[in-house]
Structure formats: C-alpha cells, structure tokens
Structure 1
C-alpha cells in the first residue's frame, strides 16, 4: 500500500501557528490564512524602495513634516521610516487574523529609554494614521539586549506588547519571559547566513526553540516561541509543534506545493521528542540582576551568542540606514 502523503503547509498549520514574514502585499494576497504578520528594517527598506511604493513614501514624508515637532527626540528621516512602517502595517493587517509586528529602530538596542519612547510613539502613530486600528494588535519587536528587555518590562505596564527578537540563548529567553514579552523569536541561524550565500552557519539552534517552549510551560509563563531564520523545509518540519513559525513567502509557497509521506514528516518533529531533553533545566532569575545576566549571557556558547547578537543588530542597523537614505533621496527629488 502506498504511503499516505500530506501537504506540508497543511500539516504545519495543524501543528503550529503560521505567521507571515513579509510586508509584501502581493505575496500576502497569494498566501492567505496566516495569523500574525511580522516585519523588520529589511522589510521597510525593501518595500519603500519599490517604484510601486512611491506614493506611500511620499505620503509618509508629508505626514512626518506635519507632525515632526510632536516627536523632537527622533530625526525627520527616522520618523518617516516609522510612519512608512505603520502605513504598511495598516495596509496588510486586514489579511492577518492575529497581531502585527513592527520592529523598533535597532540603533536603540542599548538604550532602555529610547526603546520605551519608541513603543509609545508607534502607538501614537497608529492612532494618527488609523484611529480604528485596535492597538492591542500591535507588537513591537525589540532586540534582546539587557536594555531592550528592561524596556519591554516597562512597556508591559503601559499595555504595550513586545516581542524579544535577535534571540540566541536561554538566558535571553528566561529574561524575556520574566519581563513579560508576549513572545520571543529565536533565530535558528545567524542573520548573516540569510543574506550572504557564502556564509555558513553550521550550528542551527533548533533545540533552543524546544527548550524555551518547555521552560515557559514549566514556569507557567505566557510567553510564546516564534521560531524564525530557518533554512530549508526540513528545519521547518523539525519545528512542527512550536508555538509559531515565522515563514518567508518563498518557503510558504514551496510548502504549499510539496507533499511527503505522512509518517516521514511526523517523525521529523523535535516536539514529539520533547521528553528526550531529560536534564533538568535550571536558570536563575535575571530580571533584577544585571551583573549575573551579563556574565551568563556573555559566556553562552563560548561567547558566540554575544557575537551573533551584535552581528544581527548591525545588519538591521544597516537596513535602517538604507531606509533613511531612501527618504533623503526622495526629498531631494521632491517625491
């Protein structure tokens, strides 16, 4: 008897929440049926540089000119990029059944106050651009530095939801849960590997997703694990059972068009083997112990985690700068 085959996208949807990792409106129309939608500085740059986005960029520039005096702590170009991100959010959110994720300026990764100010500003911009938008559907993505996560702690008390991104260790995951992030995004691969085909990351952090999810369950914390930065279908299948998978459009299309034997697919999931992680996971409370947190995080993976975090923040900062340069070019051309 021939083995029963399953559609890979349908299978993943039966095991985990599927989130859309793009602000490409046409791709969103093609995929459909995703829950959350996530974005970052690469997405803002990639979208705003498209000729088809000339009107949206011009609209962002005009609005920034009229309200910049309300936000004197940010440059005009920064504000235009944030407004552009919110315009993109409002365009795509009707297609999502869940939350919309907008990333804080990565240049603020090591400033608690600037991250806090950004969270409050993004909510004000949402109200300015679309008063009918439910602010509880907005989640700000924050780099998982000590300062960034302490900002998430403060924002929680203001009713602003946050996600800890650029996360590579259990130390970051533990602190993110303690400060009340609604979710975390463990990067399975170094971010550079996704942008540079010649750069290889030979140690994907698939098990980190399993450990973090187990930790939150064991500690009765509400923080969810949204795995991201995967490479290839097999890694996605290995993560079937994680709270959520953040997947780029090309991988979603490939999953949709691919079928594999049912038993083969199910056997790949690391979450059906959770019991295999038998050692007791013990971590101290980090929320009020900056010294202990920094020492443990700096030592994680022999120092490699610190390198990965810095690398990821640098890459996102580069795209932030490119997006701001688009604004300068547009202004010079009188968009």
Structure 2
C-alpha cells in the first residue's frame, strides 16, 4: 500500500520543517524551511560546527562593533546552512531575518538584501532562496518592496486572516500560517482538551485563507506550518505546500490508509472579497483578534530569544578563537 506521505506528495508540495541535515537527506523534501530556533538547535550538532567556525572567522576579519560582527556571523551561518540544505533538495530554502527587526521596515530590507548578497557571493542562485519575515505590518511592507526587487519572501508567524490578506495584497510569494500554535491558544482559552481535526481552529484558519486566495486569484502560495498531529495535515491535504517536522513525516510514512484531498483550486469557494489593505484596517483587525496578537508577539519573542542564544554561542566561540 502507498503511504499517506506518498499520497500527500501527489497533491501538495512537502517541505521539511527542520535544519537537521541528516533528516533532510533522509526525507528528501522538495523544499526546506528554517528559523532561529531550528538553527540554534542545529548549530549544536557536529555537522554545523565547521560552518559555525568559518562564520566566526569571517566576521572577525572586518572592523565593526561586536554587535555588528555577531549579526554578520549568524547571518553567514544561516546562509552556509541554507547552502548545505540546497545541496540536498531540488527546490528552495527559507532563511529568516532577525526577529528583532520585525517592527523596522528599513532594517528588515537591509538585512534581507545582505542575506541574498551572501548567498549570491557563495554561488547560490538567489531564486532558490525565500527570505522569511514576520507578518507584522512593517514586515509585510518590507516584503512588498523586496518582491518588486525580485527577492521572494516567506511571511511567517501568521495567525490571522487579516495578516494573510495583507500579504496577498503586498504580492508576497508565500505565507506560512501556523496551524498548531492557533490550536494551542484555543485549547488554553477554552474548556476543551482536544478538537476534532475537521474542527481544529488552525485547520479552519488555513482553509479559509486558501479558499480566499484561490477564489480571488491571488498568486501567493499558502504553506501550512506548525503542526501538532497528522490529523491537521490530513485535513489540509491539497494545500499548496505544507512544512512538516521529521517526526510527523515518519508518522505519515508509516500510515498506509487512504488520504482524501481536502483543498483544491477547482473546489475553492470564499465569501471574502479581495480588497486593498490599509494600515488602519490591518492594525484594528489585528487588535480585535486576541489569539493572533498574542501568538505573533510570543513568536517574535521566542525567535528573538533564540537569536540571542545563538549570538551568545558565537560570542563564546569567538572569545576562544
């Protein structure tokens, strides 16, 4: 029998949600996506140590403040990791801008351009890279400009319909709505200890976004992310892309049941009409959505904390160099 993972691959592009090179080599996904948390974990492995040492050595060759050297070293490490990942996959890799820049459009633009320049300097075709940016108003406006420059973007930490609508209006290449974190919030704020997959708030959110994009002919790719169980994945079968952890990839590989397609452009229906997004509307609707506001802030804090931890690791090794 064909596994559910193989069935899923016939209707959805499967992306590996990991920075672990061995896991990527094992699962051979089309694309891969990383974030500061995954990179921090990967940097502790033997496979990443040569890259970490090389990034530190390079950062120490130019005159700059320690803060600037640390930022450069971690950017270079992310690019080196992305290059290694691209050697293992046929598609694209997502590389994230420092989460501490999430509310600064100009700083996000500068950092994104540097990441692309670093890839280019190492012989990597920039078209194989997606720049990951938090889905704040400032981040979305940075993506609007980067897309005009031919730099494709992955808008992450996305929890609400208004974030998705703003990303589509900005012409973002791809969005990553977080399914599992939406579920987490609703479990914490209700008397329920579980939701059926068909009633999962994260699944319903992504389904609404997918149907809106397809009905209104937006080109922005929908990539569901942050899954808590295979039931969520199965209910989004047919979504443009799904980024899945190695553990859940294994569960899908081990399951030989029938997987039914749930989403498709042909059956997409939406009552949400396309509209130009204004900053006032974005901020008000975001403010009215407690879940999205809390999870976005929490996600930015978590990624920023892990970025600082990675920089501390680099600082420690730099001192020993």
- Same topology, TM > 0.5: yes
1:262-293 CA-to-partner distances (Å, cap 9, x unmatched) read 2xx32xx5427996x8661136421xx21121
CA 1:121–1:320: 2 relative to 1, 3 Å: same
Shift of 1:50: 2.1
Shift of 1:120: 0.5
Alignment of 1:98 onto 2:91: yes
Shift of 1:163: 1.0
Q: How many residues align?
A: 311
Shift of 1:257: 2.1
The one of 303, 306, 314 equivalent to 1:327 is: 314
Are 1:142 and 1:164, in contact at CA under 8 Å, matched by a contact in 2?
yes
Structure-2 residue corresponding to 1:170: 161
Alignment partners' CA distance in 1, 2:182 and 2:314: 25
Shift of 1:150: 0.4
Alignment partners' CA distance in 1, 2:8 and 2:135: 27
Structure-1 residue corresponding to 2:49: 54
After TM superposition, the score normalised by the length of structure 2 is 0.90
Shift of 1:7: 0.9
Alignment of 1:86 onto 2:86: no
1:77-125 CA-to-partner distances (Å, cap 9, x unmatched) read 1211110010111111022111110011000011101111111000111
Alignment partners' CA distance in 1, 2:75 and 2:93: 14
Structure-2 residue corresponding to 1:212: 209
- TM superposition outliers: structure 1 runs of 4+ over 3 Å: 191-194, 200-204, 272-275
Shift of 1:171: 0.4
Q: What aligned pairs does 1:80-159 form with structure 2 within 5 A after superposition?
A: 80-128=73-121, 130-131=122-123, 133-159=124-150
Are 2:21 and 2:47, in contact at CA under 8 Å, matched by a contact in 1?
no
Structure-1 residue corresponding to 2:17: 21
Alignment of 1:308 onto 2:281: no
Shift of 1:174: 0.6
Are 1:22 and 1:43, in contact at CA under 8 Å, matched by a contact in 2?
yes
Tell me which moved more, 249-258 or 21-30. Answer: 249-258
Are 1:35 and 1:98, in contact at CA under 8 Å, matched by a contact in 2?
yes
Structure-2 residue corresponding to 1:298: 287
Q: SS in structure 2 opposite 1:95?
A: coil
Alignment partners' CA distance in 2, 1:201 and 1:20: 26
Structure-2 residue corresponding to 1:184: 175
Are 1:226 and 1:245, in contact at CA under 8 Å, matched by a contact in 2?
yes
Alignment partners' CA distance in 1, 2:161 and 2:110: 27
Q: Which runs of 5+ in 1 are unaligned?
A: 195-199
